[in-house]
Chain A
Amino acid sequence: MSPPDAEVPYGTLDLMVLKTLVAMGPLHGYGVARRIEQVAAGALVLNQGTIYPALLRLEQKGWIKSAWGTSDHNRRARFYSITAAGRRRLAAEAELWERTVSIVNRLLEHES
Chain B
Amino acid sequence: MSSTSGSRRRFAESLRAWQEQNAARLVPGQVDTRTASGLEIAPLYTPADLPLDSALPDGLGDWYRERLGFPGEAPFTRGPQPGMYRERPWVMGMYSGRASPAETNRRIRSLLERGQKGFSVALDLPTQVGLDSDHPLALGEVGRVGVPIDTLRDMQDLLAGIPLDQVRQIRTTANAIGPIALALFVAGAESQGHSAKSFKVMFQNDVLKEYVARGTWIFPPARGLRFSVDVVEYCAQELPNWEPIEFCGYHIRDSGSTAVQEVALALSNGIAYIDEALSRGLSIDQFAHSIFLFLAADLDLFEEVAKFRAARRIWCRLIGEHYGAKHAESCALNIFCYTLGSALTAQEPLNNVARVAYEALAAALGGVQTLATSSYDEALGLPSDEAVRTSLRTQQILAFETGVTRTADPLGGAFYVEYLTDRIEESILAYMKRVEEQGGGLAAIESGWVRREIEEEAYRKQRRIEEGQQAVVGVNRFAESGEARYAAMPAVGADTEAEQLERLARVRAERDAARVVGTLAEVRRAASEGRNTVPSILDAIRAYASVGEITNELASVWGRHQQRI
Asked if A and B are interacting partners, one says no
Interface residues of B, Cβ cutoff 8 Å to A: none
Interface residues of A, Cβ cutoff 8 Å to B: none
